[in-house]
Amino acid sequence: MEIIETDIAGVVILEPRLFRDARGYFFESFSQRVFEEKVLRTTFVQDNESRSSYGVLRGLHFQKPPHAQSKLVRVISGAVLDVAVDIRRGSPTFGRHVAVELSGENHRQLFIPRGFAHGFAVLSEEVVFQYKCDNYYAPQSEGALAWNDPALEIDWRIPAGDVLLSDKDKKHPFLEEAPELFDYRDNLYEA
């Protein structure tokens, strides 16, 4: 497993080592030991999967403390543009984002730490998307930002007219209007 640093500390791309032969391929998609050695000591407690069609945009979501979540995301089939936005007030990268194409072909994964909003846009006809979370879903702690906040400068790589949103995702505030975010000085991994 190769760990690729991004422009924002803590947000990393994981690229597995593929073993190919005439029968197909094999790769280890996750190892707790390797993840803790190379990325972060945390324990994933929930796996989720979604299927979406072209133009679906899910995000930008997060959970507020004490239910903040890290996510390790990947695509089984199809392709997405996956985005992590730093929403830790006081962070040197506050309001900046990392955008990575994840696909069933490149087998890459993206780790999004606590203190970040997360979203993805479907670039292919259909996608099967999986992610691990290190905290359980807690609806009372849900938070989100508007996907089209001009201050975030995210190029979702699909025309705005093709974007398909849930009713909920149509109503999120811009970053400057968001009431509760994270504080960069807080250790979000303390029990």
pLDDT of residue 27: 87
Number of domains in the chain: 1
Q: What are the catalytic residues?
A: 61, 131
Residue 60 forms part of a structural domain: yes
Assign residue 97 the CATH number of its domain: 2.60.120.10
What is the domain range of residue 81? 2-183
Decide: pTM greater than 0.85. Answer: yes
Tell whether the model's pLDDT for residue 18 goes beyond 90. no
Could you list the beta-strand ranges (E) of the chain.
2-5, 12-15, 19-21, 24-26, 46-53, 57-63, 71-77, 79-86, 88-89, 97-103, 109-112, 116-122, 126-133, 142-144, 182-183
94 burial level (CB within 10 Å; 0-12, 13-18, 19+) = middle
What are 60-95's pLDDT values in tens digits? 999 999 999 999 999 999 999 999 999 999 999 999
Residue 191 forms part of a structural domain: no
How far apart, in whole angstroms, are the C-alpha atoms of residue 92 and residue 118?
18
Mean pLDDT of the chain: 96
What are 79-138's pLDDT values in tens digits? 999 999 999 999 999 999 999 999 999 999 999 999 999 999 999 999 999 999 999 999
Residue 116 forms part of a structural domain: yes
